[in-house]
Amino acid sequence: MDKLVVRGGNRLSGRVIASGSKNSSLPVIAATLLTGDGRFTLHRIPDLQDIRTFSGLLDHLGTETSFSGNTLMISTKNVENLLAPYELVKKMRASIYVLGPLLARFGEARVSLPGGCAFGPRPIDLHLMAMERLGAEITIESGFIKAKAKNGKLQGGRIDFPISSVGATGNAVMAAALADGTTTICNAAPEPEIETLCRFLTAMGARITGIGTTELVIEGVERLSAVEFTNVFDRIEAATLLAAAAITGGTITIDGVEPNQLLSVLKKFTHAGCSISLSGGSVTLASPEKLIATNITAKPYPSFPTDMQAQWTALMTQAEGISRITDKVYHERFNHIPELNRLGAHIDIVKNQAVVHGPMKLSGTKVMSTDLRASACLVLAGLVAEGVTEVLRVYHLDRGYEQIEMKLAHLGADISREKYQEFS
Ligand code: EPZ
């Protein structure tokens, strides 16, 4: 198993290029199932465990995928297996994204129920509600979702989401693209990952209006085509790297970003005393001498993203004053806090709010990550902790960050990946 060994104290400086977004790659890859016509060429796909897992699932369904140099080629001509098995789905809950496309193209699908995850239950009731609104009959049998389109074809309809759900919106848009008639999705997730999915579907021939907003109207079409497409940048990776600069008192530039997708995070870095400058597709963060305690409340886009909440908490351990961290998307997403406190932080959880007392001197030790963003938070803490921090079970990190230790080392961090044995 791998661990990251971080020796704290180096200020980061220099520039890196943002990788492609994991959370838009997954629905884009799923959307290729909507047509058997030709080969897709997808650029700026990050080389991540989740991408390999998902490509493996698609190949299990019958696609032929090949990946090199951040370009993923997919041929979906021979998809004939409509069952996504537990062994593959349990590795990554986003596998649920195959439900909409399989239903839309083949009129049926069987997908294993995804598991929960480290920071709480991850229901899929909204995904199923959306499919039913489009005329699917859904039953749950022996841990599987069995879905069948009445008369073999989905029908356009109206989907009102009671809460904003990225995944359910993605599934709904993909299913509606080939449905008979028009679909209106109200309270659609406006996240950039869904906007990118809609742009990809439009390139394939889908008819979607309201892209990037919370109301999408999709006019179903007869068929879609395979295309070449370039993915959007990963806004969470970029924000994580900016936090790495801020926690070490450094100054870095990230190229290949769309600043308008980072506005809520850039505003908070500014409130914390950092100076932000933008030029074209690059963002530069210069750290202050002293960070200012800054509260955040994670909410759906365009608010501060829940996927940056753990990383922000790590940063606030170094800020002057008390910061209050609330997550309105995943109320219990605080698994990283006990490990941060083991490093010397002083964080209390009071009624679903993390109260961070800063600044606190952190001292390196062994820490265990529990999920993707908690791992990132512990690496950030290690960059500023005195001595050596060993972040164990780095497979969590590898799901969502492409060569993060290489990027941080390039920026001047003392960080390396090492093998280790876990004693059961
Ligand atoms: C996506 O997950 C992301 N994953 C998550 O990123 C991210 O944290 C989340 O959106 C919120 O932004 C991918 O895109 C692969 P949701 P998703 O449906 O789609 C509730 C990471 O670190 N809900 O927007 O599963 C749900 O419990 C990962 O990269 C239902 O109640 O999230 C949550 O409270 C972690 N019923 C809220 O909606 C449903 O059917 C938002 O979840 C679906 C969701």
Residue 117 above 70 pLDDT?
A: no
For residue 83, the cross-strand partners are: 110
Per DSSP (E only), the strands in 85-160 are 108-112, 136-141, 144-149, 158-160
Residue 115 above 70 pLDDT?
A: no
pLDDT of residue 417: 97
Distance CA 230, CA 328 (A): 32
| Residue 52 near residue 15, CB atoms below 8 Å | no
Of 113-127, 137-151, 379-393, the poorest mean pLDDT is in: 113-127
| Residue 378 near residue 342, CB atoms below 8 Å | no
Atom 17, ligand 1: which residue's CA is nearest? 167
Cα of 307 from ligand 1 centre, angstroms: 10
Cα of 277 from ligand 1 centre, angstroms: 31
Share of the chain above pLDDT 70, in %: 98
Q: Are β-strands 319-327 and 296-298 bridged in parallel, bridged antiparallel, or unpaired? A: parallel
- Count how many Cα atoms sit within 13 Å of the Cα of residue 34 in the half-sphere of its side chain: 36
Distance CA 28, CA 105 (A): 15
Indicate whether this model's pTM tops 0.85. Answer: yes
Q: What is the mean pLDDT of residues 214-221?
A: 98
pLDDT band at 370 (very low <50, low <70, confident <90, very high): confident
Residues with CB under 6 A from ligand 1: 23, 26, 94, 122-127, 163, 165-168, 189, 193, 306-307, 329-330, 372-373, 400
43-94 confidence digits (pLDDT tens):
999 999 999 999 999 999 999 999 999 999 999 999 999 999 999 998 888 9
- Closest atom, ligand 1, to C-alpha of 236: 29
Q: Are β-strands 291-292 and 319-327 bridged in parallel, bridged antiparallel, or unpaired? A: parallel
pLDDT of residue 38: 86
* Domains of the chain, each with CATH number or no CATH: 2-18+233-419 (3.65.10.10), 22-230 (3.65.10.10)
Distance CA 424, CA 422 (A): 6
Of 182, 256, 186, whose CA–CA distance to 216 is shortest?
A: 186
316-338 confidence digits (pLDDT tens):
999 999 999 999 999 989 999 99
Distance CA 180, CA 199 (A): 21
In this structure, the number of other CB atoms found within 10 A of the CB of residue 125 comes to 10
Query: Across the chain, what does the average pLDDT equal?
Result: 96
Atom 30, ligand 1: which residue's CA is nearest? 123
- Closest atom, ligand 1, to C-alpha of 301: 12
**DSSP character at residue 249:** T
Structure token digits, residue 413: 């961090």
pLDDT of residue 242: 98
pLDDT of residue 122: 73
380-411 confidence digits (pLDDT tens):
999 999 999 999 999 999 999 999 999 999 99
Atom 44, ligand 1: which residue's CA is nearest? 165
Q: What is the mean pLDDT of residues 99-123?
A: 86
Cα of 166 from ligand 1 centre, angstroms: 6
In this structure, the number of other CB atoms found within 10 A of the CB of residue 213 comes to 10
User: Among 166, 169, 399, which residue has the most ligand 1 atoms within 8 Å of its CB, making it the best to mutate?
Assistant: 166
In this structure, the number of other CB atoms found within 10 A of the CB of residue 162 comes to 10
Atom 16, ligand 1: which residue's CA is nearest? 165
Distance CA 371, CA 93 (A): 13
- Closest atom, ligand 1, to C-alpha of 400: 29
Q: Are β-strands 108-112 and 144-149 bridged in parallel, bridged antiparallel, or unpaired? A: antiparallel
186 is catalytic: no
Of 245, 375, 262, 220, whose CA–CA distance to 21 is shortest?
A: 262
Structure token digits, residue 247: 């926690």
Catalytic member of 117, 198, 274, 377: 117
